Amino acid sequence: MNLENIWEEYSTGLRSFLYSRVSNDADVEDLLQEVLIKTHQNLDTVASSEKIKPWLFQLTNNTIIDFYRKKGRAKDVSATDLWYAEDDVGVDQALAQCVEPFIRALPKKSANLLLAIDIEGQSQKDYAEKAGISYSTLKSQVQRSRAKLRTLFDDCCSLTLDKHGNLVEFVTKSGGCDSC
């Protein structure tokens, strides 16, 4: 477990996580450095490489909690220092508004499938059983439907993903789109 490799792999995700909970850019960068230092000091306590990601995010979450505890003790703290305003929308939240309209733009069978599984949270096994089809057939249908959905997004937006497939940013292509 090499610190440089771990940091290269996870720092973008940690930064995004910090931005979702801390409103000040300078504080985010300070906290990211603090997480790096704590990672360097405590990496040897991680039992296996499979546990690095959850450990890093828990470490980051604890660092955020400590940050707010320290800020809470300061006398000149205002509510705007602590959290984003209600109308500040993160990348995931902004794009999430588009998901259901895009799903509804798919053919009815694909739309119903994705609404049940991805929006309502029904398990694929339960859906397959109720529909009277094999589980493996349903998994293929879900993948094809998600591919169609991705095509709709790609036609409308330029998505930037990190190497783990997490959404980092999106930009609406010129001409925009009607679904979002």
pLDDT tens column, 89-110: 555 566 666 788 888 889 999 9
Domain with CATH 1.10.1740.10 in the chain: 3-76
CATH topology of domain 3-76: Rna Polymerase Sigma Factor; Chain: A (1.10.1740)
CATH number of 91-172: 1.10.10.10
State residue 93's pLDDT score: 60
Q: Using DSSP, state whether 93 is helix, strand or coil.
A: helix
Q: Does 86 have pLDDT greater than 60?
A: no
d(CA 64, CA 28): 9
Q: Does 81 have pLDDT greater than 70?
A: no
State residue 109's pLDDT score: 93
Eight-state DSSP code of residue 107: -
CB 166 within 8 A of CB 14: no
Q: Does 11 have pLDDT greater than 70?
A: yes
- Close Cβ partners of 57 (under 8 Å, ≥ 6 residues apart): 13, 14, 17
User: Which pLDDT band holds residue 153 (cuts at 50, 70, 90)?
Assistant: confident
d(CA 147, CA 79): 42
State residue 63's pLDDT score: 92
pLDDT of 16-60, one tens digit each? 889 888 888 889 999 999 999 999 998 888 888 888 888 998 999
Q: CB count, 10 Å around CB of 74?
A: 8
d(CA 147, CA 164): 18
Nearest to 113 by CA among 142, 82, 74, 73: 142
State residue 80's pLDDT score: 53
| Lowest-confidence region among 2-16, 145-159, 160-174 | 160-174
The pTM is what? 0.47
Q: Does 87 have pLDDT greater than 70?
A: no
d(CA 60, CA 76): 25
State residue 78's pLDDT score: 56
- Close Cβ partners of 124 (under 8 Å, ≥ 6 residues apart): 117, 135, 138, 139, 142
pLDDT of 120-150, one tens digit each? 888 999 999 999 999 999 999 999 999 998 8
DSSP E strands, the chain: 157-161, 167-172
